[in-house]
Amino acid sequence: MRFMGCDHATTLELMRLRGEGPEPGEDSEDTVLLQKQGDAHEAAHLQRLKASGKGVVEISRSDLARDATLTHKALADGVDVVFQGAFLSGNWGGWSDFLERVERPSAIGPFSYEVVDTKLKRRPHPKHVLQLVLYSDLLTEIQGVAPEFAHVELGTGERATLRLTDYAHYARAARVRLEAFVAEPPPTRPIPRADCGLCRWASHCESVWQAEDSLFNVANISRGQVKKLEAAGISTMAVLADLNRPVRGMAENTRLRLVTQARLQHARKTGEPAFELRAPEPGKGFGLLPEPRPGDIFYDIEGDPHYEGGLEYLHGVWCDGEFRAFWAHDHNAEARALSDLLAFFRARLETYPDARIYHYAAYEITALRRLTTKYGIGEAFLDRLLRERRFVDLFAVVRGGLIGSEANYSIKSMEAFYGRKREGEVKTAGGSVVAYERWRETGDQHILDEIEDYNRIDCISTEELRDWLVGIRPVGPWPVLGQDAGFKEAEEDAETQALRATLTTSGLAMDRQEMLFNLGLFHRREVKPAQWAVFDSVGKDEEDLIDDLDALAGLEAIGPAKPVKRSFARSYRFPPQETKLRLGKKATVPVFDGPPASVSIEVLDRKAREITVKAGPGKDHLLTDRLTLHPDWPLDTAVIASALRDVIADQCGPRVYRAVGDLLSRAAPRLTTGPSADLLGGADPVVGTVAAVGAMDGTVLPIQGPPGTGKTYVTARAILSLVRRGARVGVASNSHEAIRNVLMGCLSALEDEDLPVILDLVHKVSGSDDGYQDDCPIRRTTDNGEAAGGGHVVGGTAFFFARDENVQAFDWLFLDEAGQVGLANMAAMGRAARNIVLVGDPRQLPQVIQGAHPEPADLSCLEWMLGDHATVPPDRGIFLPVSRRMHPDVCRFISDQVYEGRLTNHADTARQALTETSFPEAGAFWVPVPHEGNVQISPEEVAAIQTATDDLLKGSWTDKDGTCRPMRQSDIVVVAPYNAQVNALRDALRDGIRVGTVDKFQGQEAPVCLVSMTASSIEETSRGMEFLFSLNRINVAVSRAKGLALVFGAPRLREAKCDTVEQMRLVNTLHALRNIQ
């Protein structure tokens, strides 16, 4: 795994094997301890196998070649278990822990074997999987059949079973790269990585950076910024310190900050700590630092990410010269510690009503938000503290208020300015985690004492930092507390207690009570992060907000504010950046003495980078000369939450809403025709689906439609069949566009079948810009009452169907794009109908949620219904099995990677082909584009895609009916993950080529789809690996292609070092793409 994370570390290891180069650091005592414990865990499992009566052959480790021969013989004999089975083939070999017999025929008999490893970890780790795949591949050579699974016996006593095909492409590619690297080592250089702190070469690399006066020494510099500086001929901190010219692609305020940072750090080499104050900005830096008050609290958390599910094992608070520790060594104790901590905060603030809670960096708030949601403890109280602005993040004050001479901005580095010296065995947060893990293994109380002392010093240091900052603070008004939010807390607590009381007296099983409780709190929990995001955004530095898609930063007024009727509008220019803010939508702006205020976007010209912002009557003071727009406040979901409370009450009593009950119970569909092992029963998918929908008996039916399988086509015909029977049908979705698509599909189906049916279609829309042609026969209305009162088929969102006048007003409710609709919203809408049909695909675009919700409140309704299955089981719903879009080679990739091999292509799609270009005729391919330092824009991929499209447009396209014609611009779609890359591609490519994020293309198709991955490496992904590598997003992007899909990306993306097996599964998908020749 070291090679996966850093090729330079491998270079150093190879040099050491040749007797060259530096010496590494020593293995820590923890490494030795863990090795001993691992051996004991392995021996204990061996004894359990013997005690169970298994026949075990033990291979005594000696010569690898000899042991491999003995292992081969033991396998051929068909023994139950081989312990320390050895393999040797070419450059690879080793001793496995266990080989277990399974009754699956192979070349050695009516049986075969699977690999089992013993590991102390509480969950499988990627390095375990690399080893398991290697041994499984070597085992395949012996038995002639590949094992389907491999297993890990965990330190918890549980067994983790892994499907090898989910990881094998990644693991094999890693081996190939390592072999090539060892055979011909390329030049490498030390580059900061996420795991440097765990590497035994870390001190050597740090000495290299110091000797070279490397730009990597500059505090808070990114790899992308280093790339731009080096491209401009600036390669050392000393040169950067004297830089007085612009840098291409770098914002001027960023350049100035980096120059100042380098100058101060360079001078620090021979001088005392120094700092410079940054220009004051309202609501930033020192504008976030309140006046000291009696009773102020200084707070710090220690957390262990290695514990199953994570564990915040120590909350420390310092006030009035006294320290208090809240310890937790398991999740039950974690909940108690949280409760005790919040009780302490409450009592303290009642005694000292003006007090604040100081901390350093965002971890404490992030952890408290997660814990209060996880345990349902103190959610309303924490929200009150946040609304009242009780928490003060001193890191935000430091980052926005000054530039310092130290190598980083950790609180340990800041101590140089106020003279604190650290002592004791534990000196860093990472050291605290290592020490805590050591305590879990040894039980040595001295270790806990050291950790507590470290935490106490952190809290004291936070107070000292606060006092130092107050002393250097520029003159200006102090920020004030937010308005008292006690009434809001009391209101939320009353609602929570009422919900809990209803459930406690219901007689429902405890798991059902907890499920309904968490669903009942969904909307409150979901709205809070959106509200917090507004406050968090307001507190960020402008430089950070330039890269934040939820904001628009650095606006400079073009002229004065002008009256517009009773309101005021002002025009601004803004620096190059991307934003999700849109014309006609709202945003927020900071207010010194209150919560951020809403403004509206009246004009937005992205090319000219100009915007006009409007504020309400008497609000012209909000339109300051310099301005940053922040996210808007979330929508009011009260009508949906109210409907959900009614559904919960029904589940606790009469259970009138039978379909909702089946949804919440994850029940198999109840049909008038009786249960069936296969709901389609071999019938044509359209005929079978129409029949199954018509046979529903107050129940829920999931219909999973992978790309190109005709979900809308099938849905429309099912709806028409119901209307002919006199049924009234609702059509719901998150978006009006999806609803419109289904309603238009009903019109098309009516025309196709030429049926004598009078079809009254109504769409409850949110405004006049509804996307319909003026002469469309579908009635549109913004009036809820009008929509509720008429129509054979009525479309609307959850805000419509959750209304009281719609209770049981429909015979069937079809939910389109159900993979994107939360279970809570579906349950609230579900009371509107006697039957519920969930149409969608949870393997395509997922639902977007912001809150932390306990399962199943965090799931979409289709995710919930499918459970652990990637595809809906035949007796539980309908899987539409035939794609009429994708060529067999594209479909095979999608089917194998996403749909458990169940998706096939229609025979006609085999005719689809691209000819007369330098690219393959069809298939899904990986196109490597080397680059470094790119985050949200990759000029290299833009150039590669521009060249590719020029070539593609010289070719010809043969459709599934055999028609051949020249390629057109409209035959190409280009998908990118970030708006910045989308805009760069639009500027570079020919008009007519469709370019957008994957969200824009669901439901669309084209002969060719090009995908730009954009980021240079995992370290440079702005939204994390789970976003960029999302299997759902890769599925949607690649499956747009009727014939050819090309995924352009930096090689380092496929070389990503994965921290979890889930991440490994994601990267494996990219390796499953065929390499372009």
Q: How far apart are CA 1021 and CA 1025, in angstroms?
A: 7
Q: What is the average per-residue pLDDT within 616-637? A: 92
Per the CB < 8 A criterion, the answer to whether 275 and 404 are in contact is yes
Residue 383 has pLDDT above 70, yes or no: yes
**What's the confidence (pLDDT) of residue 1060?**
85
- pLDDT bracket for residue 540 (50, 70, 90): confident
Give the H or E element holding residue 83.
Answer: strand 81-83
Residue 511 has pLDDT above 90, yes or no: yes
Q: What is the average per-residue pLDDT within 622-639? A: 92
**What's the confidence (pLDDT) of residue 192?**
87
Q: What is the pLDDT of residues 448-473, one digit of tens each?
A: 999 999 999 999 999 999 999 999 99
**What's the confidence (pLDDT) of residue 39?**
75
- pLDDT bracket for residue 427 (50, 70, 90): low
Residue 979 has pLDDT above 90, yes or no: no
Q: In 3D, which of 661, 987, 1053, 1052 has the Cα closest to residue 835?
A: 661
Per the CB < 8 A criterion, the answer to whether 235 and 215 are in contact is yes
- pLDDT bracket for residue 34 (50, 70, 90): low
Strands 610-615 and 567-573, sheet pairing: antiparallel
Q: How far apart are CA 1047 and CA 687, in angstroms?
A: 37
Residue 294 has pLDDT above 90, yes or no: yes
- 655-880 and 213-271 share a CATH fold: no
Q: In 3D, which of 527, 584, 577, 591 has the Cα closest to residue 548?
A: 577
Contacts of 19 by beta carbon, 8 Å cutoff, 6+ apart: none
Residue type present at position 1069: T
- Lookup result for tokens 């049981």: 808
Q: What is the average per-residue pLDDT within 964-989? A: 93
- Lookup result for tokens 């005719």: 911
- Other C-beta atoms lying within 10 Å of the C-beta of residue 369: 20
**What's the confidence (pLDDT) of residue 309?**
75
Per the CB < 8 A criterion, the answer to whether 558 and 541 are in contact is no
- pLDDT bracket for residue 755 (50, 70, 90): low
**What pTM value is reported for the model?**
0.82
Q: What is the pLDDT of residues 587-626, one digit of tens each?
A: 999 886 677 899 999 999 988 999 999 999 999 999 999 9
**What's the confidence (pLDDT) of residue 31?**
52
Report the DSSP beta bridge partners of residue 159. 153
Per the CB < 8 A criterion, the answer to whether 596 and 590 are in contact is yes
Q: In 3D, which of 840, 837, 798, 836 has the Cα closest to residue 819?
A: 840
Q: What is the pLDDT of residues 541-565, one digit of tens each?
A: 777 788 788 899 999 999 999 999 9
Per-residue DSSP letter, 734 = S
Mean pLDDT, rounded, of the chain? 91
- pLDDT bracket for residue 27 (50, 70, 90): low
Encoded tokens for 93? 């070999």
Residue 1048 has pLDDT above 60, yes or no: yes
Residue type present at position 842: P
Instruction: Please give the span between the terminal C-alpha atoms of the chain, in angstroms, as a whole number.
Output: 28
Cα 951 → chain centroid: 35
Q: What is the pLDDT of residues 361-379, one digit of tens each?
A: 999 999 999 899 888 899 8
Class of domain 527-629: mainly beta
Per the CB < 8 A criterion, the answer to whether 418 and 464 are in contact is yes
**What's the confidence (pLDDT) of residue 550?**
87
**What's the confidence (pLDDT) of residue 584?**
84
Residue 706 has pLDDT above 70, yes or no: yes
Q: What is the average per-residue pLDDT within 480-506? A: 85
- pLDDT bracket for residue 536 (50, 70, 90): confident
**What's the confidence (pLDDT) of residue 1?**
58
Q: How far apart are CA 57 and CA 60, in angstroms?
A: 10
Q: In what order do the strands lie in the sheet with 311-319?
A: 322-327, 311-319, 297-304, 357-359, 391-393
- Lookup result for tokens 């939820």: 550
Strands 610-615 and 594-605, sheet pairing: antiparallel
**What's the confidence (pLDDT) of residue 580?**
81
Report the DSSP beta bridge partners of residue 762. 779, 794
Which 3 state secondary structure label does DSSP give 756? Answer: coil
Which 3 state secondary structure label does DSSP give 759? Answer: coil
Calculate what percentage of the chain has a pLDDT beyond 70: 97
**What's the confidence (pLDDT) of residue 918?**
96
Q: In 3D, which of 113, 359, 405 has the Cα closest to residue 265?
A: 405
Distances (CA, A) of 389 to 321, 369, 531: 24, 15, 13
Distances (CA, A) of 450 to 19, 29, 605: 39, 17, 58
Q: How far apart are CA 867 and CA 848, in angstroms?
A: 19
**What's the confidence (pLDDT) of residue 544?**
77
Residue 438 has pLDDT above 60, yes or no: yes
The residues spanned by each domain of the chain are 2-183, 213-271, 285-483, 527-629, 655-880, 888-1075
DSSP annotation string for 866-932: HTT-SS--TTTSEE--EESSS-HHHHHHHHHHHSTT--EE-GGGGG-EEESSSS-SSEEEEEE----
Fold of 285-483: Nucleotidyltransferase; domain 5 (3.30.420)
DSSP annotation string for 406-433: SSS-SHHHHGGGTT----SS--SHHHHH
Residue 126 has pLDDT above 60, yes or no: yes
Calculate what percentage of the chain has a pLDDT beyond 90: 68
Per the CB < 8 A criterion, the answer to whether 466 and 394 are in contact is yes
**What's the confidence (pLDDT) of residue 757?**
67
- pLDDT bracket for residue 67 (50, 70, 90): very high
Fold of 655-880: Rossmann fold (3.40.50)
Q: What is the pLDDT of residues 825-871, one digit of tens each?
A: 999 999 999 999 999 999 998 888 877 788 899 999 999 999 989 99
More confident residue, 579 or 922: 922
| Superfamily covering domain 888-1075 | P-loop containing nucleotide triphosphate hydrolases (3.40.50.300)
**What's the confidence (pLDDT) of residue 703?**
98
CATH of 213-271, one of 1.10.150.20, 1.10.3720.10, 3.40.50.2000, 1.10.10.10: 1.10.150.20
- What's the farthest any 2 CA atoms get from each other in the chain? 91
Contacts of 1076 by beta carbon, 8 Å cutoff, 6+ apart: 919, 920, 925, 926, 927, 928, 1046
Strands 1006-1012 and 1041-1049, sheet pairing: parallel
Q: Where are the beta strands (DSSP E) in 291-385?
A: 297-304, 311-319, 322-327, 357-359
